[in-house]
């Protein structure tokens, strides 16, 4: 297995990955975690303090110092910097806390440290009164924890809201002029592949500006951890989670909806093994999904060629090369084995389209 700088003869077969959705404006996000703040519920998978590694508290007085530290390390122009309140249910906070955080954020905009604000919140907090609280504020984007559109799955996950709440919330937010992101989960209690795919289709129909896909993990201290220890809940394996996520990615790609994250952001808390009891956590989960998409496309192409016993050359855009190879060259090993290849060479084609892979026999 080797990499060559350029292809010497044109590939015999081209295969396409689902085209990357249109790029969205990607600001630099400065996250501020409000673990479980403003949330009256207890979703079975949730232990925000374990995930974020932070206890609750009022961050408003500390925001200027946080921004000063951030901008010292990563100078950015303010229009590209977005302050994000994550980890809780922002619009479920008492009004005085929302007002205090918004006022602090407004000050950061006035000081030209940030351009805008986003937060995550539950779908059932989006009503006219609460939207009134953030009207005219620097909030530009709202991320909704939708998770599933399957009522049985929502109930089994202890979400405490319905699919209709999510649909209404997206509608109201869009009408009020906010950009909307939907966070969706796979491997939830009572959720099979079919349910996850149907939910993805329903989320796509709502036309959010972007989505995030998270595999359900068994986090220490969550209700799901107790169920797991009793032998009840069984999380997805890593392979199954990657395969399901790849199918969801295709659903959103077909509707031109950007998937801006797959898998939880790697952190010391998640990586040290003390907080994730079980489940498909991997620090490079998104890379695994794109590798799976590349492998499936290459399988499709190789089926059309008399490749057994031959050396195959795969041509890809430089940004795709590591995904074509797979983690630790896993894709190359799997393809070599499956098609009884003599070997695989990789060619980089910086001028080729990002979504296209070429396959040739040498
Ligand atoms: S809505 Fe669920 S996941 Fe979000 S903070 Fe509340 S309990 Fe946790």
Half-sphere CA count of 131, side-chain side, radius 13 A:
17
Q: How far does residue 41's CA lie from ligand 1's centre (Å)?
A: 6
Residues 137-159, mean pLDDT to the nearest whole number: 97
For the record, the structure tokens of 122 come out as 């539950």
Q: How far does residue 218's CA lie from ligand 1's centre (Å)?
A: 14
Nearest to 176 by CA among 134, 205, 209, 207: 134
pTM: 0.91
3-class DSSP state of 254: helix
**Which residues surround ligand 1 with Cβ inside 6 Å?**
36, 39, 41-43, 46, 48, 88-89, 122, 145
Query: Closest ligand 1 atom to the C-alpha of 120?
Result: 4
Half-sphere CA count of 312, side-chain side, radius 13 A:
28
Q: How far does residue 308's CA lie from ligand 1's centre (Å)?
A: 51
Query: Closest ligand 1 atom to the C-alpha of 87?
Result: 5
Domains and CATH numbers, the chain: 2-19+291-361 (3.30.1330), 28-216 (3.20.20.70)
How do residues 14-62 score in pLDDT, each as one tens digit?
999 887 676 566 789 999 999 889 998 889 999 876 555 555 667 888 8
Nearest to 138 by CA among 56, 82, 195: 82
Q: What is the largest CA-CA distance in the chain?
A: 70
Taken in order 173, 174, 180, 183, is the CA torsion positive or negative?
positive
CB 264 within 8 Å of CB 270: yes
To the nearest whole percent, how much of the chain has pLDDT over 90? 77
Q: How many CB atoms lie within 10 A of CB 318?
A: 11
Half-sphere CA count of 217, side-chain side, radius 13 A:
27
Mutational pocket test of ligand 1: of 39, 44, 47, the residue with most ligand atoms within 8 Å of the beta carbon: 39
Give kind and range of the element (H or E) at residue 143.
strand 139-147
**Closest residue to atom 4 of ligand 1, CA basis:** 88
Phi and psi torsions of 161, nearest 5°: -140, 170
- Whole-number average pLDDT of the chain: 91
Q: How far does residue 104's CA lie from ligand 1's centre (Å)?
A: 24
How do residues 143-152 score in pLDDT, each as one tens digit?
999 999 999 9
**Closest residue to atom 2 of ligand 1, CA basis:** 43
3-class DSSP state of 35: coil
Q: How far does residue 230's CA lie from ligand 1's centre (Å)?
A: 23
**Closest residue to atom 8 of ligand 1, CA basis:** 46
pLDDT of residue 7: 45
Per-residue pLDDT band at 10 (split at 50, 70, 90): confident
């Amino acid at each position: 297995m080797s990499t060559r700088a350029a292809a010497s003869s044109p590939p015999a077969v081209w295969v396409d990955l689902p085209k990357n959705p249109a790029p969205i404006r990607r600001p630099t996000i400065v996250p501020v975690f409000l673990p479980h703040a403003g949330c009256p519920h207890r979703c079975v998978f949730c232990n925000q303090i374990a995930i974020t590694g932070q206890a609750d508290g009022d961050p408003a007085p500390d925001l200027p110092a946080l921004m000063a530290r951030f901008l010292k390390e990563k100078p950015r122009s303010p229009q590209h910097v977005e302050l994000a309140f994550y980890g809780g249910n922002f619009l479920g906070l008492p009004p005085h806390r929302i007002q205090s955080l918004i006022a602090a954020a407004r000050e950061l905009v006035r000081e030209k440290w940030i351009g805008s604000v986003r937060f995550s919140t539950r779908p059932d907090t989006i009503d006219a009164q609460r939207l009134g609280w953030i009207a005219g504020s620097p909030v530009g984007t709202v991320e909704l924890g939708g998770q599933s559109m399957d009522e049985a799955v929502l109930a089994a996950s202890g979400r405490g809201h319905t699919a209709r709440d999510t649909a209404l919330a997206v509608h109201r937010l869009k009408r009020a002029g906010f950009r909307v992101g939907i966070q969706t989960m796979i491997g939830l209690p009572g959720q099979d592949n079919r349910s996850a795919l149907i939910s993805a289709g329903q989320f796509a129909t709502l036309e959010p500006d972007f989505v995030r896909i998270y595999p359900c993990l068994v986090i220490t201290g969550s209700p799901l951890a107790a169920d797991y220890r009793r032998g009840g809940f069984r999380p997805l394996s890593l392979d199954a989670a990657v395969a399901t996520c790849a199918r969801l990615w295709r659903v959103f790609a077909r509707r031109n909806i950007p998937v801006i994250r797959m898998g939880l952001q790697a952190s010391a808390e998640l990586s040290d093994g003390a907080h994730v009891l079980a489940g498909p956590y991997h620090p490079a989960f998104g890379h695994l999904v794109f590798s799976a998409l590349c492998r499936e496309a290459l399988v499709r192409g190789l089926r059309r060629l008399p490749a057994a016993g031959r050396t195959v050359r795969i041509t890809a855009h430089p940004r795709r090369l590591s995904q074509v190879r797979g983690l630790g060259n896993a894709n190359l090993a799997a393809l070599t084995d499956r098609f009884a290849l003599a070997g695989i060479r990789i060619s980089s084609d910086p001028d080729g389209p990002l979504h296209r892979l070429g396959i040739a026999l040498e």
